[in-house]
Amino acid sequence: MKRILYIIAGFVILSACTSKPGYQISGTIDGLTAGDVVLLEQRIDKEYVQIDSVTSPDGTFEFTGSVEIPDVYYVTVPGKRGKAMIFLENSQIGFKAHADTIWEPAITGSVVHDEYNTFQESLREIYGKARELYASYREADQAGDEEKAKKLEVKINAVYDEVEEYQQAYLDENPASYIAPYIVQNLHYGKEADEIEDMLAKLDPSLQGSSLIGTITRRVEILKKVAIGMPAPEFTQNDSLGNPVSLSSFRGKYLLIDFWAAWCGPCRGENPNVVSAYQKYTDKGFEVLGVSLDNSRDKWLKAVKDDGLTWAQVSDLKYWSNETAALYGISSIPSNLLLDREGLIIKKNLRGEDLHSALEELLP
C-alpha cells in the first residue's frame, strides 16, 4: 500500500513539474446582452488577430490559455466601440468593464498590468501640465494674441519633451520590464530606423518573444528602405478618376510625396503652406503627389477642392491600410518625403518654413 502511495505521489509531482502554467481571464462586461461575443485579440503589424472567442450568456466570459511571456492583448466586443488593452500573463486575472467604455477596464491579478497602470499614472501627471497650457493657448489663439500663443506653444512642446524623457529614462532603468516593448512602441513613431534600433538594443534579450518587438523590428526594415539617400520605392495608385498614377512618372522633377487625409486636422492646417510652395516653385521643376489616407471618396474630393490642391492626388481609400503608406512605413500624418530629380529621398517631413527653405536652396 505504501509503495502505491509513493507511486501516486510521484505522478502528482511529475505532473506539477511538467504542466505548463497558464492564464485564466474571468470577466464581466456590463451592458452586454445574451449571445454577445467577446474576443481576445493581439495586434500584429496593424492587424488585430483573433486569439480566442466566447459567447457570453449574461455579460460574463472566461478565457484560458498560456503565453510564453507577458504581452499586450485586447478584449473587444464586435459592434461595440473601442478595445480594452491588457498585459496578459500566466495568472488568474479579473476583468470588469462596461460595454460602452470597454477601453477603461478594471483589471486585477496581473502584476505586469499593475506596473503598466503605475507607469501610465506618472504619464498622466505630466500630460496634465500640457492640458492646462493648451487651454490657455486656445484662449490666446482665439483672442489673436500671437505673442502669448507662441510662448505657450514653447511650453507645451517642453512638456511633450518631458514625456519622452520620462519614457526614455524608464527604459534605461527597466530594460527587462515586460512593459518596455510597449514604451518603445510609444516612442518609435516619427523616428528613423537607426534611432529605433538603438532603443531595441537596450532591451533585455528575454523580451525578444514580445509581439510588439516583432512588429517594431519589421517596421525598422521598412524604414531602412525609405531612409534619406535611398531610392523611393515605386508605387502606382489611382487618382480620383480611376486613372493609375505611378511614382516614376515624376522622374526629372523635385517631388514632394505628401501623405494626408481629409479627416486629419493638422494635415488640413498644413495644406495652405504646401499650396504656397507649389505655386512658387512649380515653374522651377517642383511637383507634389498627394497620397490620401481617406476611406470616403466624397470627403477626400471635397477636401481637395476646398483646400485648392491642384496637384496629382491618389488614394486606394483604405484608410490606415493604404498600401502606399504601408510601403513607406507611414505611422502618422501629415508626413512627406522630398525626392530629387533621380527619385532619391533627400528630405523628410518638411513643414512650414522648412519646406520653403529646402526648395529655395534646391530651386533658387
Name the fold adopted by 236-362: Glutaredoxin (3.40.30)
CA separation for the pair 73, 62 (Å, rounded) = 15
> Phi, psi at residue 229, to the nearest 5°?
100, -15
C-alpha to C-alpha distance for 233 and 328, rounded to whole angstroms = 8
Is residue 275 scored above 60 in pLDDT? yes
pLDDT-based confidence at residue 19 (cuts at 50, 70, 90): low
What DSSP letter does each residue of 193-251 carry, written as one string? HHHHHHHHHTS-GGGTT-HHHHHHHHHHHHHHHTSTTSBPPP-EEEBTTS-EEEGGGGT
Check the CA dihedral 248-252-258-262 and report its sign. Answer: negative
Is the model's pLDDT at 7 over the cut of 70?
A: no
CA torsion sign for 269, 273, 274, 275 is: positive
Q: What is the pLDDT of residue 364?
A: 87
Minimum mean pLDDT range among 111-125, 153-167, 233-247: 153-167
Task: Determine contact, residues 87/116, Cβ cutoff 8 Å.
Answer: yes
> What Cα–Cα distance (Å) separates residue 50 from each residue in 47, 75, 93, 247, 331?
10, 10, 19, 36, 23
SS3 104: coil
Which range (4-8, 153-157, 187-191, 219-223) has the least confidence? 4-8
Q: Which three cell numbers stand for residue 252?
A: 526629372
pLDDT tens for 184-236 read 999 988 888 999 999 999 999 999 999 999 999 999 999 999 999 999 999 99
pLDDT greater than 90 at residue 239: yes
- Domain 7-109, what architecture? Sandwich (2.60)
Q: What size, in residues, is the chain? A: 364
Domain 236-362 in the same topology as domain 7-109: no
DSSP state for residue 319 in the 8-state scheme:
G
User: Mean of the pLDDT values across residues 6-35?
Assistant: 69
DSSP code of residue 21: P
Nearest CA-CA partner of 186 in 324, 319, 265, 72: 72
Question: What CA–CA distance (Å, rounded) separates 362 from 351?
Answer: 16
Beta strand 106-108 pairing with 254-260: unpaired
Taking the C-alpha atoms of residue 237 and residue 250, their distance in angstroms, rounded to an integer, is 14
Residues pairing with 231 in the sheet: 344
d(C-alpha 203, C-alpha 213), whole Å:
10
What CA–CA distance (Å, rounded) separates 98 from 81?
Answer: 11
Identify the band that residue 14 occupies on the pLDDT scale cut at 50, 70 and 90.
Answer: very low
Distance, in Å, from the CA atom of 137 to the CA atom of 321, rounded to the nearest integer, reads: 34
Closest CA to 226 of 314, 325, 322: 325
Beta pairing, strands 286-292 & 312-314: parallel
Cell 501623405, residue located:
259
So where are the chain's domains?
7-109, 112-225, 236-362
What DSSP line would sit under 271-318, residue for residue?
Answer: HHHHHHHHHHHGGGTEEEEEEE--S-HHHHHHHHHHTT--SEEE--S-
Report whether 337 contacts 347 (CB < 8 A): yes
Nearest to 30 by CA among 77, 63, 79, 93: 77
